Structure 1
Amino acid sequence: MTADTVPVARPPRRRHDAPAWQERTGPVGQGLKGLTLVVVCALILVPLYSIILTSFSTQAAINEAGGLVTVPGELTIEAYRQIFTNQLVTHSLLVSLAITVIGTTLSMLVSTLCAYGLSRHGSFGHRGILIFLVVTMFFSGGLIPSFLVVTALGGYGQYWTMILPSAVSVFNILVMRGFFSSTAPELLDAARMDGAGEWRILRSIVLPTSRPVLAVITLFYAVGYWNSFFNALLYLPDNGKWPLQVILYLYTLQGASMPGSGVTGTGQYAGHQQIATLSLQMAVVTLTLIPILVAYPFVQRHFTKGMLVGAIKG
């Protein structure tokens, strides 16, 4: 055996050469990770706990706590009873739910079709439409031209102004387009050889293998519609058409009295129990949080399932 044929032993890979996420951490590192996780969870859960507890607290308990309640005291449901007996608040809750459902459905339909068309290279007007969409991300007419266009189309005082002006997000379309473009060409070619058209390919191949991005974008649109209030302030002068977020904005942040409630800054009496203004405000905040907290676990299930499908796609 010559010197040229003698195998050269490679030096062992040093630990710091491994990627950061593959390195093993010692007890100190594990402790820091656990402490960081506990702190982050506390920063999220403690304010949420305090808001919900305050919404169920009486004026005496709030006065004793000096503001938001952290230790349970005297509890009551009078704040929620006052809200749900207020026709304006219950109507605004239904308006918010309807806007969120209809708006999210419309936005996902338009965004999915647009993203799929732009993901197919060689489609009609592919490059020009893509450039036009990207330009709109950086340049817009501004608030006043948008208001003039919407009012000229008869949208002032109409519910559709809460949906159509913000129905499409170019950023979301680009994200979906990138995901659709990563679909394995072999799957598409095989489907076309079997006689499948573009609608069948989209429905049976692209959408099932793109569940992660669909779940994320759906959640983005839903949260955006649920939290929207600025368009309502611009285009809906009638408080009978306001969504719940406008009630929250005016009553909680601006300190105005809840429309139709008769609640003053010192609270009011309902039967033999005093309702605190802060308790009512936190009850409204809680109502705005509940739908997202309820919907997110179901979307999270699709996140996990979709990631497994997307991981082997292509």
Structure 2
Amino acid sequence: MALSRKTPIERIEYAIIVSTLLLLVVVTVQPILNLLAVSLSEPAKVPGMSGLTIIPRGFSFEVWSVLLQHPNVQRGIFNSIFITAVSTVIGVVGTALMAWGLSRPGLPGRKALFILVLVTIVFEPGIIPDYFVNKRLGLLDSYWSVILFKAVNAWYLIILIRFFEEIPKELLEAAELDGANPFQVFWHLVLPLAKPALATISLFYLVFHWNEFFRAMIYLNDQGKWPLQVVLRQFVIDGDKVAIVGANNASNNTGASQIDLRSLKAGMILLTIVPILAIYPLILKFFTKGTMSGALKG
């Protein structure tokens, strides 16, 4: 009904917008469907599949069975989950605490501290001094060399500071008049109101640390500590012959067909993007909530 009341020009504009959005969806989803089709096809039929194919040829879980039994992939999944989980918790907690302090007008040296935060954005240290710092701290070949990198991201900190500054002072004063101490105000009032912002930076930290591979590639010499992204690089970019031989050995043990590199690439790429795609809908619900919804319910 609403569309029928539009003028001809508005209908054309609406059609163009919808068509453009549908085209973007197709362009975005088609490569993922192609990877899924390749990973679920019978290995012998994969070489004949084009980059536009979105329907599996035959149907087989051999690639996934081989990948999930591959020791490098198993260790990579565990390492990625561990590094991402610990880094995100440290990042969100540290960012929230620091942002709350810097958002308080009465904090001594507040402006100077905020300027220092901005300096870290403009003058970010290079990889060489960063490497020597990690070496002197004894963090080389340690998970902490990756976990502690940007434990508090300056950009996310600024986002949270601005969010905290928008919380009405009347709510904070009312809580203080009711006898709440600063920690209780922060825990029981500020954090519930900041759920949308905390969900946002949590997603940012999750994506950032899950996709991190450069530092892990430099600082983690022990392959047993490599995250999934470095293992993915081993399969996709390097075309590592050892990885392919290991996969085919695993396929021989399970009675599966020989797996080619293209199938392994497809499965590995999906392994690295599916967790983020699965987590995003869980966090999305917080984005649509109003900033003051918690206060109104209270």
TM-score, normalising length: structure 1: 0.85
> Amino acid of the residue matched to residue 273 of structure 1?
S
User: What is the CA-CA distance between 1:66 and the residue it aligns to?
Assistant: 4.1
The 2-side partners of 1:183 and 1:123 are apart by 17
Other-structure match for 1:145:
129
88, 96, 118: which is aligned to 1:112? 96
Q: Is 1:232 paired with 2:227? A: no
Q: Matches of residues 78-97 of structure 1 in structure 2 within 5 Å?
A: 78-97=62-81
Other-structure match for 1:163:
147
282, 286, 290: which is aligned to 1:302? 286
> Amino acid of the residue matched to residue 223 of structure 2?
N
Aligned residues with identical type, % of pairs: 34
TM-score, normalising length: structure 2: 0.90
The 2-side partners of 1:198 and 1:311 are apart by 18
**Cα RMSD over matched residues?**
2.4
User: What is the CA-CA distance between 1:67 and the residue it aligns to?
Assistant: 5.1
Q: Matches of residues 19-168 of structure 1 in structure 2 within 5 Å?
A: 26-66=10-50, 69-168=53-152
150, 172, 176: which is aligned to 2:160? 176
User: What is the CA-CA distance between 1:307 and the residue it aligns to?
Assistant: 5.3
Asked if structure 2 preserves the Cα contact closer than 8 Å seen for 1:229 and 1:243, the reply is: yes
Question: Mind listing any 5+ residue stretches in structure 2 that lack a counterpart?
Answer: 1-5
User: What is the CA-CA distance between 1:308 and the residue it aligns to?
Assistant: 6.9
Q: CA 1:311–1:117 in structure 2 vs 1: closer, same or farther (change >3 Å)? A: same
User: What is the CA-CA distance between 1:69 and the residue it aligns to?
Assistant: 3.6
152, 165, 187: which is aligned to 1:203? 187
User: What is the CA-CA distance between 1:311 and the residue it aligns to?
Assistant: 11
> Amino acid of the residue matched to residue 161 of structure 1?
S
Question: Mind listing any 5+ residue stretches in structure 1 that lack a counterpart?
Answer: 1-22
Secondary structure of the corresponding residue to residue 305 of structure 1? coil
- How many residues in Structure 1 have an aligned counterpart in Structure 2? 289
Secondary structure of the corresponding residue to residue 239 of structure 2? coil
Q: CA 1:155–1:306 in structure 2 vs 1: closer, same or farther (change >3 Å)? A: farther
Structure of higher CA gyration radius: 1
> Amino acid of the residue matched to residue 28 of structure 1?
I
Secondary structure of the corresponding residue to residue 255 of structure 1? coil
Return 108-117 or 288-297, whichever deviates more.
288-297
The 2-side partners of 1:272 and 1:206 are apart by 55
Asked if structure 1 preserves the Cα contact closer than 8 Å seen for 2:73 and 2:231, the reply is: yes
The 1-side partners of 2:28 and 2:50 are apart by 21
Other-structure match for 2:236:
252
The 1-side partners of 2:247 and 2:52 are apart by 19
The 2-side partners of 1:101 and 1:295 are apart by 12
